[in-house]
Amino acid sequence: MIALIVLYVSFPMETQNAAGCSAIQCRERRGICSFVRCRPPLRTIGKCTALAVCCRR
């Protein structure tokens, strides 16, 4: 029972950390996260999350 509680509490933190890690990498590459496609003069340089892309000039 304790193991289930630990998994229940740690799962959201792990998924949030995984998504945040990509967003941090995007900012380190001087990009921004966008939920729509990158429009000119921006170009896609990666993914922030499953739904967001990383754009940069």
In the chain, the number of structural domains is: 1
Q: How many CA within 13 A on the CB side of residue 10?
A: 6
DSSP 3-state helix, strand, coil percentages of the chain (rounded to 5)? 45, 20, 30
Cα separation, 18 vs 2, whole angstroms: 24
Per-residue model confidence (pLDDT) at position 21: 72
CATH number at residue 36: 3.10.360.10
The end-to-end CA distance of the chain, in Å, is: 51
- Predicted TM-score (pTM) of this structure: 0.61
- What is the block-wise mean pLDDT of the chain (57 residues), using blocks of 10 residues? 53 45 91 94 94 95
Per-residue model confidence (pLDDT) at position 11: 46
What range does the domain containing 15 cover? 2-56
